[in-house]
Amino acid sequence: MKKSFVILAALVAAASVQAQKLVIKGSDTLGAKLVPMLSEEYKASHPGVSFEIAAEGSTTGIAAITDGTAAIGMSSRRAKSTEVSAAAAKGVAMKPTIVCYDGMAVIVNENNPITTLTKRQVEQIFTGDVTDWSAVGGKPGKFSLYTRNTSSGTYSDWKDLAMKKRDYASTSQKMAGNEQIAAEIGKNANGIGYVGVAYIHAPGVKVIPIEGHLPTKEEVLSKKYPYARPNFYYTNGEPSGEAAKFIEFTHSEAGQKIVEKVGFIPVK
C-alpha cells in the first residue's frame, strides 16, 4: 500500500510539472472568437497545456504584459508611446507580432434603406455633427450610435481612422464587445456602429460600403478600404516557452486557416 501511494504521488507530481497554463489577456476583437478557437486546436496536439483567456479590451492586454500577469497580450491597436515608456520603466520591452489583418466595418440594421456612406458622413455621424438619418439620405430618425468602450483598441482606432481623432458624440452607447454592437443594431432600425470583419454576419445587420469600398481581403490588404488595420499579440521581448509555441502555431498554415475561417484576413 505504501509503495502504491508513493508511485501515485510521483505520478501526480510529474503531471503537475508537465501541465502548463498559458495566460492571454486583452482585445475582445481577437479574444471573443479567434484566440479561443486557436487555443482549442492547439490543445488537441498539446494536451498538457491549458489556457486562461480574458477578452476585456486591448488596453488591458497591454497592461497585462507591463505588469507581468499574462504571457501574451491581445491588441487590435499598436501600443501607445506612453504605454511603451511605462513598460520600459519596469524593464518590460513591448514586442508586437501581427496576428492577422482586419477591416472595421460600418454596420446598420438590415432594414435600413441606406446603401452607401462617404468618409465625411461617417465622421459626422460618430462625432455628432449630424444626428438624424435624413442628413445622410436615409429615413427621418435619430441615430442610435453603438461604439466600443474606452479600453478597446477598436474604440481608439476608430477615432484615428474614421473621426480624425475627434471625440465621440455624447449620445454614443458604449458596448463591451463586437458581438454586443451587432446584436443591438440587429434589433434597432436606427442603429449604426462598427465591428471587425469576423462579426459582420450577425443576424439582422448589413455592411455599408464606404465610397464604394468594402472590408474584403483584397481591399484591406491593398489599404483601399479606409478602416483597415493589423491586429497584434504583445509579449515582453522575444516570446519564449509555450507562448512562443502558440504564436508559432498562430502563424502556421493550420493557424492561419483558422484566422480565415473566423473571418479575419491571414498574415500569410
Q: Is residue 30 part of a domain?
A: yes
Q: Please give the Cα distance from 111 to 138 (Å, whole number).
A: 11
Q: What is the mean pLDDT of residues 257-263?
A: 96
123 shares its domain with 186: yes
Per-residue confidence band for 268, with pLDDT thresholds at 50, 70 and 90: confident
pLDDT of residue 234: 98
pLDDT greater than 50 at residue 2: no
Q: Is residue 88 part of a domain?
A: yes
Q: For residue range 30-67, what is the model confidence (pLDDT) as tens digits? A: 999 999 999 999 999 999 999 999 999 999 999 999 99
234 shares its domain with 180: no
Domain extent for 30:
11-102+230-266
Q: Is residue 157 part of a domain?
A: yes
216 shares its domain with 118: yes
Q: Is residue 4 part of a domain?
A: no
Q: Is residue 1 part of a domain?
A: no
Q: Please give the Cα distance from 3 to 11 (Å, whole number).
A: 12
pLDDT of residue 19: 67
Q: Are 126 and 163 in contact (CB under 8 A)?
A: yes
Q: Is residue 6 part of a domain?
A: no
27 shares its domain with 73: yes
pLDDT averaged over the chain?
93
110 shares its domain with 70: no
Q: For residue range 231-256, what is the model confidence (pLDDT) as tens digits? A: 999 999 999 999 999 999 999 999 99
169 shares its domain with 213: yes
Please state, for a pLDDT cut of 70, what percent of the chain lies above it.
93
Q: For residue range 86-116, what is the model confidence (pLDDT) as tens digits? A: 999 999 999 999 999 999 999 999 999 999 9
CATH number at residue 73: 3.40.190.10
Length of the chain: 268
pLDDT greater than 90 at residue 1: no
47 shares its domain with 137: no
Per the structure, how many domains does the chain have? 2
111 shares its domain with 197: yes
pLDDT of residue 27: 96
Q: Is residue 17 part of a domain?
A: yes
211 shares its domain with 234: no
192 shares its domain with 88: no
Q: Is residue 80 part of a domain?
A: yes
pLDDT greater than 80 at residue 82: yes
Q: For residue range 187-239, what is the model confidence (pLDDT) as tens digits? A: 999 999 999 999 999 999 999 999 999 999 999 999 999 999 999 999 999 99
Q: For residue range 138-169, what is the model confidence (pLDDT) as tens digits? A: 999 999 999 999 999 999 999 999 999 999 99
Give the alpha-carbon dihedral of 204, 210, 211, 214, to 10 degrees.
-80
Q: Please give the Cα distance from 113 to 91 (Å, whole number).
A: 54
pLDDT of residue 77: 96
Query: Which alpha helices (H) appear in the chain, and where do they start and end?
Result: 2-18, 28-31, 34-45, 58-66, 81-89, 119-127, 153-162, 178-187, 217-221, 241-251, 253-262
| CA 50 to centroid of chain Cα atoms | 21
23: amino acid identity, one letter? V
Q: What is the mean pLDDT of residues 66-71?
A: 98
143 shares its domain with 110: yes
217 shares its domain with 234: no
